[in-house]
Amino acid sequence: MALRDSMRDSAAQYLQPGETVQAVFGAQTASQWLAGLTGIFVFLGLNRYRIFVVTPRRIVVLDAGKVSMKKARGFVAELPRSTRLGPGAGLWHVIPVGDEKLRVHRRFFKDLDTADQQATAA
């Protein structure tokens, strides 16, 4: 099963009845430079993965744990649907959520664009 499909399936329990997913993508809390500067074990200890689930009504940010971003494990935050997520630039794009800076890898930039396009179309 593809990563986005796994994220979408595991996030279903955090959605309201009838709510559909427009886009889903992953992020992480720690900077990628932390792994290079302090070592992978320190990075793994400090990093948490997050899943963004974009619906027509809201943007839900879910915790996915320290190991993988495949499975949602808890609720972190809810953002208004009008929140712009992109455009992504460079290798990592930072999205502030509460007191966290969530870093989105460029492999998810097309999902950022899809979410923003659907928000403006609605």
Residue 96 has φ and ψ, to the nearest 5°, of -75, 130
pLDDT in tens, the chain (122 residues): 699 999 999 999 999 999 999 999 999 998 776 666 566 666 566 789 999 999 999 999 999 999 899 999 999 999 999 999 988 888 999 999 999 999 999 999 999 999 998 877 76
Instruction: Give the domain extent around 59.
Output: 3-121
Number of domains forming the structure of the chain:
1
Residue 58 sits in a domain whose CATH number is: 2.30.29
Taking the model in full, what pTM does it have? Answer: 0.89
